[in-house]
C-alpha cells in the first residue's frame, strides 16, 4: 500500500476485555515495529519483527501483551484483560529491513485505545 | 545505550521568526539521527536525517538540522516559522541491534507558532 495502515483508528473497551490492534506495513517492508505513546511517557518501543520473527519480546509491558506477524506482512498486537493503564496510542512503523539503519521508519496514524 | 534528549517541553515562536528545536544525543559509535513531526491525531512524519557527510541537513517543509559532533547536538531549525508548523517534534536515534535498531525517541517538544 501507499503507507502504513492501522486499524481500528479508535477503540474503546471495558476493563478486563481483550483487544486486538492491526498493522499493515508498506508492501515489501520486512521490518515492523510497535510503539506505545502515552501522556507523560513519550514514545515507548514495544517489539519489532524481521519477517515473521520477533527476536526480543522483553519490551512488552506485561505478559498480557502479545504480538504476532504472519506472511511477513500484517501484524497484530493483542492485549488481554485490558487495564486502564493500557490506555494510550499504539503506533506501528515499518522499514525495508531492520539492518538498514539509514532508512527512516514509516509510521501509521496509530490506534487510540481507551479502557473504561 | 543510544539516546537523545530534548531539553524544552515547549517552544513559542512568532510567525516569520526563525525557530530552533534543540536535541542532544548520547551514542556509542556513529549516530544515526532523525527528526519527526506529529500533528494532532496523526502518526509521526519523517522530516530529515543525519547519517554522515555535511553537518547541515535539509529536509521537508523547509526544515533543516545542524549536526554538531563536539556538542553532541542535532538541533532542528527553520529560517521563517509558519503557523502551520505548530506541532509536536521528536528527535530520535537508531538504537542497538537488540531492538532491531528501533528508533529511540526524545520526549518531544511542542512548537507553537503564533
Q: Tens-digit pLDDT profile for chain B (114 aa)?
A: 899 999 999 999 999 999 999 999 999 988 999 999 999 888 899 999 999 889 999 999 999 999 999 999 999 999 999 999 999 999 999 998 888 899 999 999 999 999
Residue pairs between chains A and B whose CB atoms are closer than 8 Å: 61
pLDDT digits (tens, 9 = 90+) for A56-76: 999 999 999 999 999 889 999
CB contact under 8 A, B43 and A98: no
| Count of domains observed in chain B | 1
CB contact under 8 A, B106 and A42: yes
User: What's the CATH code, domain A16-100?
Assistant: 2.60.40.10
Q: Which domain holds residue B9?
A: 3-113
CATH code of B46's domain: 2.60.40.10
Stretch 74-113 of chain B: residues touching chain A, C-beta under 8 Å = 90, 94-95, 98-108
Query: Which residues of chain B does A104 touch, with a Cβ-Cβ cutoff of 8 Å?
Result: 34, 46, 49
For A80-103, write each residue's pLDDT tens digit.
999 999 999 999 999 999 899 999
List the single residue in B42, B103, B108 with the smallest CB-CB distance to A105.
B103
Mutate to test the interface with A, among B47, B101, B109 (most CBs of A within 10 A): B101
Strand, helix or coil at B76? strand
CB-CB contact of B103 with B92 (8 Å): yes
- CA A28/CA A50 separation, integer angstroms: 12
A13 compared with B1, residue with greater pLDDT: A13
Q: Which residues contact A53 (CB under 8 A, 6 or more apart)?
A: none
- Residue pair A44/A34 in contact (Cβ under 8 Å)? The answer is no
Q: Is it the case that residue A1 has pLDDT exceeding 70? A: no
Mutate to test the interface with A, among B44, B46, B95, B98 (most CBs of A within 10 A): B44
Phi and psi torsions of B96, nearest 5°: -90, 170
Say whether pLDDT at A30 is over 60: yes
First to last CA, chain A: 33
Amino acid at each position: 500500500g501507499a503507507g502504513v495502515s492501522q486499524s481500528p483508528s479508535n477503540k474503546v473497551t471495558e476493563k478486563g476485555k481483550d483487544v486486538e490492534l492491526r498493522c499493515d506495513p508498506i508492501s515489501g517492508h520486512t521490518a515492523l515495529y510497535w510503539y506505545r505513546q502515552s501522556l507523560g511517557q513519550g514514545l515507548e518501543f514495544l517489539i519489532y519483527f524481521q519477517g515473521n520473527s520477533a527476536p526480543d519480546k522483553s519490551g512488552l509491558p506485561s505478559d498480557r501483551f502479545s504480538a504476532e506477524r504472519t506472511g511477513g506482512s500484517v501484524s497484530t498486537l493483542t492485549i488481554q484483560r485490558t487495564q486502564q493503564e493500557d490506555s494510550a496510542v499504539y503506533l506501528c512503523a515499518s522499514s525495508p529491513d531492520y539492518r538498514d539503519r539509514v532508512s527512516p521508519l514509516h509510521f501509521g496514524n496509530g490506534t487510540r485505545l481507551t479502557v473504561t | 545505550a543510544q539516546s537523545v534528549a530534548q531539553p524544552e517541553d515547549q517552544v513559542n515562536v512568532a510567525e516569520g521568526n526563525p525557530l530552533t528545536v534543540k536535541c542532544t544525543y548520547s551514542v556509542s559509535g556513529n549516530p544515526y539521527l532523525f527528526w519527526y513531526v506529529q500533528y494532532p491525531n496523526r502518526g509521526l512524519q519523517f522530516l530529515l536525517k543525519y547519517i554522515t557527510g555535511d553537518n547541515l541537513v535539509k529536509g521537508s517543509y523547509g526544515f533543516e538540522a545542524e549536526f554538531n559532533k563536539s556538542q553532541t547536538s542535532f538541533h532542528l531549525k527553520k529560517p521563517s516559522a509558519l503557523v502551520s508548523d505548530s506541532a509536536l517534534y521528536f528527535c530520535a536515534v537508531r538504537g542497538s541491534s537488540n531492538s532491531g535498531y528501533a528508533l529511540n525517541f526524545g520526549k518531544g517538544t511542542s512548537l507553537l507558532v503564533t
